[in-house]
Amino acid sequence: MRIIKFRVFTIDEGMVYNKDVDCFMSIDSDGTLNSSGFPKHHVMQFTGLKDKKGEEIFEGDILKTSTDKPMVVFWSERFASWGLNRDGWYFTLWFGESCNPEDCEIIGNKYEHPELLQDVI
């Protein structure tokens, strides 16, 4: 069974995790995620994967591998898969194709630590 979790980054509240998010989020009858309780917000979904320290990897997380080049986790609508962007890659790569999640370490996320992205596409 897949675990479905979300976190939300807001300008006013910072990062809000699943237990606090559900009181602000709902799924409309057409399946659309409604998070109108968060002005200027960014909703990020849990990937179902964990890094080498056992930390849950969310969309928007910045990961480091043995190459020390940061990668950003994102959801690809086109390929219905979690992808990774990194400086120097011409194409987007997927978990397992470029690295295994358990070989990565979360070093931040793109909303709270944008300075980590200076070398990322």
Q: Domains in the chain, please, with CATH?
A: 6-117 (2.30.30.290)
How far is residue 67 from each of residues 5, 26, 55, 88, 89, measured CA to CA in Å? Answer: 29, 40, 20, 12, 13
Give pLDDT tens digits along the chain (121 positions).
677 888 888 777 778 776 555 555 556 666 555 655 555 677 888 999 999 999 999 999 999 887 777 889 988 888 888 888 877 665 666 777 777 888 899 999 998 888 887 755 4
Predicted TM-score of the model (pTM): 0.77
Q: How many helices (H) and strands (E) does the chain have?
A: 1, 11
Task: Find how far residue 79's CA is from the centre of its chain.
Answer: 16
